[in-house]
Structure 1
Amino acid sequence: MMPLPKEEQSGHTVSQRLRSLKRIPPELIPLGVVLAAAIFAAVWSLSRKLYTDTTLRLYRQGPEAKKA
């Protein structure tokens, strides 16, 4: 396969992508902020739970675990 000409790749620069953010309708910006906050809170909560919970079973227990 031959590489694409420079003209066809020009739309993939960082500045071009940042300029395309202006095409997002203003009504969707608050939705994006709320969605980003919810995802951050979910990741934070899950990672904190997994890191601090001492009652989690980390390894198999019982007779089946001893056979393997």
Structure 2
Amino acid sequence: MAVRMLRAQSASSLLTQQATRSFRTTSRAMKPMPKQEQSAHTISQRIRSLKRIPPELIPLIVVLAAAIGAAGYSLGRKLFVDGTLRLHRSTPEPKKQH
């Protein structure tokens, strides 16, 4: 029975050591944070900041822009061309009495 208690205590102390190990500060965590760049203020600065977009995202941006443009065109065409589209609330018809 005493052996079981010692094993349980050693297992629980091992678990607490593992849990607190993640909270230790490392040399990397103690270094000062690098200064962040100032946000863009003018249009030319914003255009220059577009150069930081990774090249892998450009095809995704093009496809999303095409999809949003097609959806806007389709919605606009539906609203202006479809004559059967209900644009106003219909008034209820009076009930007929027999």
**TM-score of the superposed pair, with normalisation by structure 1:** 0.73
RMSD of equivalent CA atoms: 2.0
Residue 33 (str. 1) matches residue 33 (str. 2): no
After TM superposition, which residue ranges in structure 1, 4 or more long, deviate above 3 angstroms?
Answer: none
Which stretches in structure 2 are left out of the alignment for 5+ residues?
A: 1-37, 94-98
When normalised by structure 2's length, the TM-score is: 0.52
Q: Which runs of 5+ in 1 are unaligned?
A: 1-8
More helix by share: 1
Summarize the Cα distance change of 1:23–1:10 in structure 2 as closer, same or farther, 3 Å threshold: closer
In the TM superposition, 1:28-67 aligns within 5 A as: 28-63=57-92
Structure number with bigger Rg: 2
Identity rate, percent: 75
